[in-house]
Amino acid sequence: MAVVICVLAFSASTLVLAQQSTAVQDAAKKVVEAKKELVKAETALKASVAKLRVEFQKGEDWTKVQADLKEAQQDLEAARKAVAESLQAKPEYQKAVADKKKADAEKDALRMSDAAPEKMLDAATKALAATAAVTKMEIDALEADPKGSEAKKKVAEGMAALAELQKAFDESVKTNPELETQRAAVETAKQAVVQAVKDLAEARKQASSSSR
């Protein structure tokens, strides 16, 4: 009789553990399914926003700003080339470029020879200073050039205008009634994931308690 009772008790315990294991597996599957639904909802929302962005960027305001910016960038590039050609004829610029090349070569030579850290640092500092000197001369020359400074100003204005239009689009998306249903679907899916994760944690907790 005692043996029968033990067998029945063991069988009951095994059945409970099996049920708990199944509950954990089911809960884990629900987490995976909930996450898939969230990804699906988010993907649909992103696709709708992308479609609206394409339409927005076809608008007159965006296309005009883009065209003006492109023209200003081309003007700036042309001004840079003209200024660079002018600079290359100046002895002080030629010397600055030569000093930069020499400093870079010395830095590279020291690096290849495994020189002491302090020598490497000194060489790197000199190379950096030489590069900065050349860059400053190029920037100053471009600023002093009427066409260059005007083109640079227009590029900055174009970038700012583009940023403002992008900001306006982002704000319009937040209040677009066409996206409300999809936003709601995303929020519902997020809540479903949170609940599924909680249910999984509870199932694991119960399974752990039953196995003791």
Instruction: Kindly state the tokens that stand for 111.
Output: 């690096």
Helical axes 91-112 vs 117-144, angle rounded to 10°:
150
Structure confidence by residue, pLDDT tens digits, 121-148: 999 999 999 999 999 999 999 999 999 9
The H-or-E segment that residue 179 falls in is: none
Top pLDDT among 7 and 21 is at 21
The b/e string for 25-38 (b: 16+ C-beta within 10 A; e otherwise) is: eebbebbeebeebb
Contact indicator for 93, 87 with CB cutoff of 8 Å:
yes
Residue 8: predicted pLDDT: 40
* Model pTM score: 0.65
How many angstroms separate the CA atoms of 117 and 148, rounded? Answer: 42
Residue 116: predicted pLDDT: 86
Listed in sequence order, the DSSP H helices in 58-145 are 60-88, 91-112, 117-144
Residue 13: predicted pLDDT: 47
| pLDDT band (50, 70, 90) for residue 80 | very high
Instruction: Kindly state the tokens that stand for 188.
Output: 């519902």
Please state, rounded to an integer, the average pLDDT across all residues of the chain: 88
Structure confidence by residue, pLDDT tens digits, 33-78: 999 999 999 999 999 999 999 999 999 999 999 999 999 999 999 9
